[in-house]
Amino acid sequence: MDKLVIRGGNPLTGSLTVSGSKNTALPLMSAALLTDGPVTLTNVPDLKDIHTFRRVIEVTGTTVDHEPGHHRMTLNAGSLTDIEAPYELVKRMRASFYMLGALLGRMGKARVSLPGGCAWGPRPVDLHIEGMKALGAEISLDQGYVVASAPGGRLSGGCMTLDPSSVGATINIALAASLARGGSIIENAAIEPDVVHFCHMLQAMGARMNGVGTRTLEIEGVDRLEPVDFENCPDRIEMGTFMIAAAIAGRPGSAIEIRNGRTDHLGDAFLEAFKWTGTQIKERDGVISVVPPDELRPVNVTTGIYPGFPTDLQAQWTVLMARCAGNSKVHEIVYPDRFKHIPELQRMGVNAIIVGDEVMIEGGKPIQGTSVMSTDLRASVSLVLAGMVAEGETHVLRVYHLDRGYERLEDKLSGAGIDIERVRFDEWADPS
C-alpha cells in the first residue's frame, strides 16, 4: 500500500490539468458492448476503476486494447460470448453493474453480481432491477447474482419512473432499451453531464433517443448499433476539486489556472456557492482562472441531483469551509451518512460536527498535520486538501481509494507548488 506525505504551507501556484471523466468513461465503455465492432474511446483517465472495469468487460470475451498512458482504449465486443460479471470484480467497483443493461441489451441475458455497499453505506440497485423488469426482462436472484433474461431473446421496451432520480439506473436502463424491440420512456431520468455525454455516444452509434438532457428520456429500440470512435468529456468532479483547492491554498489575488475543464458541467448551485465565498472565476479560451479572495466567506450548501450541488464535492467543500472566518453548514441529502471524512478532519483540528444529515463547521481554526485514514474516494481527497494547508506533515494512508478517481494527483499538485510525495508504506508492519 502507499501513502501520501504532504508538508503543508506551500501556496498552490501555476496551473492544474483536468483528466477525462471517470463517471462518464465507465458508461462509454459499457456502450461499446452494444455493437460488434471496434469502438475507440479517447480522453479515458488512467484510474484504478477504469482498469477494474476493463477486466470485467474482458471476462465476456470482448477484447480491450488499452493504452493508459495515451488515455485511449479500443473495445471490440464482436468476440463477446460470456454473459457473466463476477463478484470478485463487481465488488471492487459498483459501476460494473452497468454490465446488466449492456448484456441484456446486446445478448438478451445476463448474470451479474449484486455490487454490495460502499464505505458510507448501502448502495441499492432496486431501480436498476425494476427498470429491467419494465423493459420486459425476467429477473431472479441466485447466490448474490442478478440473473436476467429477455423472453424470446430480446427486450420489449417499456416505461418507468425513477424515484429518486438515479444516474446509474438511467444509464443502465438506457443501455438495455437502446436495442429493445419497442419504445421506452424513463421519467425523472438523471440529467448529469455524465449521462448526457453517454446518450450522445449512443446516438452517434445509431440509437434513437429524444429528450436527452431532460427528465423524460424517450428511446426507440433499434436492431443494431454501429461502432464509433468517441471522446470522453473532462471530469467535472476533479474540476470542482481543483477549484476548491485553488480557493483553499492559492495566494489571495493570484490566479491559478485550470486547464481542460468545463465549469458548465458543475451546475449552477456549485458555481453560485463558489462565487459567494468571494473567490473569482474567469474563463478564457478554455482555461479557467481561479482567484482566491483576501478572506473566504462561509457559504451553506445542500447537495442535490444535477444541477444541484454535487454530493461528490461535499467533503471537499467542508475543508473549504474550515478555512473561512465564520460558521457554515453542509447538508447531505443524496446519501445518508456520507461523512466518513469528518472524524479524520477532526483529528487535524477541523471543528466540524455531524448533526443528523448535516455537518456544522466552525471555520478559522488552525489545521494540524497528522496521520489520517482514507475511507472512500472523495473523503480521501478532502484529507489531501486539508494537508495542503495544515501546519506540519500530513500522512494520508490507504491512497488506493484516491487512485480510483484521481489520476497522478500527487504529480499534478507538486507541479503546482505543493510539497507532496507518494511513499511505499505497510501499515500493518510493527511500528518501529
CA distance 122 to 329: 24
Would you say 105 or 405 has its CB closer to ligand EPZ? Answer: 405
Is residue 312 a contact point for ligand EPZ (CB under 6 A)? yes
Least distance between ligand EPZ and beta carbon 140 (Å): 17
Binding flag, residue 126, ligand EPZ (CB under 6 A): yes
Regarding 221 and contact with ligand EPZ (CB under 6 A), the answer is: no
Per-residue three-class SS string for the chain: CEEEEEECCCCECCEEECCECHHHHHHHHHHHHHCCCEEEEECCCCCHHHHHHHHHHHHCCCEEEEEHHHCEEEEEHHHCCCCEECHHHHCCCHHHHHHHHHHHHHHCEEEEECCCCECCECCCCHHHHHHHHHCCCEEEEECCEEEEECHHHCCCCCEEECCCCCHHHHHHHHHHHCCCCCEEEEECCCCCHHHHHHHHHHHHCCCEEECCCCCEEEEECCCCCCCCEEECCECHHHHHHHHHHHHHHECCCCCEEEECCCHHHCCHHHHHHHHHCCCEEEEECCEEEEECCCCCCCCCEEECCCCCECHHHHHHHHHHHHCCCCEEEEECCCCCCCCCCHHHHHHCCCEEEEECCEEEEECCCCCECCEEECCCHHHHHHHHHHHHCCECEEEEECCHHHHCCCCCHHHHHHCCCCEEEEEECCCCCCCC
Q: Report, in Å, the least distance between residue 416 CB and ligand EPZ.
A: 22
Q: Which of 119, 139, 334, 354 binds ligand EPZ (CB under 6 A)?
A: 334
Question: Smaller CB distance to ligand EPZ: residue 23 or 263?
Answer: 23
For residue 23, the minimal CB distance to ligand EPZ (Å) is 3
Question: In the set 125, 137, 146, 361, which binds ligand EPZ (CB under 6 A)?
Answer: 125
168 binds ligand EPZ (CB under 6 A): yes
Task: Report the residue number, 257 or 332, with the smaller CB distance to ligand EPZ.
Answer: 332
Q: Which residue's beta carbon is nearest to the bound ligand EPZ?
A: 168
Q: Is 166 in the site for ligand EPZ (CB under 6 A)?
A: yes
Size of interface with ligand EPZ, in residues (CB under 6 A): 23
Q: Which stretch binds ligand EPZ (CB under 6 A): 40-48, 60-68, 164-172, 388-396?
A: 164-172
Burial 348-362 (b: 16+ CB within 10 A, else e): bbbebeeeebbbebb
Residue 366 C-beta: closest distance to ligand EPZ, Å: 29
Beta carbon nearer to ligand EPZ, 64 or 119: 119
The question of whether 118 is a catalytic residue gets the answer yes
405 binds ligand EPZ (CB under 6 A): yes
Q: Would you count residue 92 as binding ligand EPZ (CB under 6 A)?
A: no
Choose between 283 and 337: whose C-beta lies nearer to ligand EPZ.
Answer: 337
Q: Are 20 and 50 in contact (CB under 8 A)?
A: no
Q: In the structure grid, which three cell numbers stand for residue 150, read together?
A: 429477455
Q: Which of 92, 197, 323, 378 binds ligand EPZ (CB under 6 A)?
A: 378
Q: Which of 118, 159, 199, 233 is catalytic?
A: 118
Residue 124 is a binding residue for ligand EPZ (CB under 6 A):
yes
Which lies closer to ligand EPZ via its Cβ, residue 128 or residue 197?
128
Smallest gap from Cβ 123 to ligand EPZ, in A, equals 6
By CB under 6 A, tell whether 117 contacts ligand EPZ. Answer: no
Q: CA 330 to CA 322: how far, in whole Å?
A: 11
* 169 contacts ligand EPZ (rule: CB under 6 A): yes
Q: Does 288 bind ligand EPZ (CB under 6 A)?
A: no
CB of 303 to ligand EPZ, least distance (A): 9
**Residues interacting with ligand EPZ, by CB under 6 A?**
23, 26, 95, 123-128, 164, 166-169, 190, 194, 311-312, 334-335, 377-378, 405
Residues acting as catalytic residues: 118
